[in-house]
Amino acid sequence: DIELDDDVLSSILAYQTQQLNPHFLHYMNWSLAHYTNEEKVDILLKIAERSAKKGEYFLIVADAKNFSHAMAGLGIVDGEWEFNGVKYDKFIPCYDCNAMVEDKETSTLYASGFSADGSIFINSKTKETYMHFYYNIGKCDGLSFFACDDYDLMNYKGKINPSDSYI
């Protein structure tokens, strides 16, 4: 609902640029390198459950050998799903700015923000994960996740409601 004039776009660009703070990047890269995939899934589940109780979004970075992509986690859902013979019991809905939905009447694609195809299914026992979108484009090789709900760290010296400490 915001008109995207030059001032707004400039503020968004400045905010995104400033968000690439070295403290957060070091933390994320350290986490991706030092935890096993099973530990990363446990952290993801823990943060999703904690954020669901608080009614807050949290950051998820899907990371693989040849790409990395950020999205917002929207909580966690228990259920039963099966893909390619593997059963999943947890679902983390994700808000992803790249999520597209096709209008059936006009065949037009539009940004929806949420898509089950871009969300994460998890088998909490085996720690297997599944994201339909990444599976379909062949990017699930080595796919792992970084999750964070530490707003002070993520917004340290940010442009909008900045935190002045990351500890």
Give pLDDT tens digits for 21-39. Answer: 677 778 888 898 899 999 9
Work out the pLDDT band at 110, boundaries 50, 70, 90. Answer: low
Q: Name which residue leads in pLDDT, 92 or 151.
A: 92
* 128-163 pLDDT tens trace: 999 887 665 555 667 889 999 988 777 776 666 777
Work out the pLDDT band at 14, boundaries 50, 70, 90. Answer: low
- The residue-averaged pLDDT of 114-140 equals 80
Question: What are the strands, taking DSSP E only, across 74-167?
Answer: 77-83, 86-92, 94-95, 100-103, 108-111, 120-122, 129-130, 144-148
φ, ψ of residue 50 to 5 degrees: the values are -65, -45
Supply the mean pLDDT for the chain.
81
Q: Name which residue leads in pLDDT, 84 or 46.
A: 46
Q: Name which residue leads in pLDDT, 27 or 92.
A: 92
* Lookup: tokens for 48: 């999703």
Residue 108's pLDDT is what?
Answer: 78
Residue 134's pLDDT is what?
Answer: 65
Per-residue pLDDT at 43 exceeds 90: yes
Per-residue pLDDT at 74 exceeds 70: yes
Q: How far is it, in rounded angstroms, from Cα 45 to Cα 124?
A: 8
Work out the pLDDT band at 126, boundaries 50, 70, 90. Answer: very high
Q: Name which residue leads in pLDDT, 106 or 140.
A: 106
Work out the pLDDT band at 166, boundaries 50, 70, 90. Answer: low
Q: How far is it, in rounded angstroms, from Cα 150 to Cα 115?
A: 25
Q: How far is it, in rounded angstroms, from Cα 141 to Cα 1?
A: 38
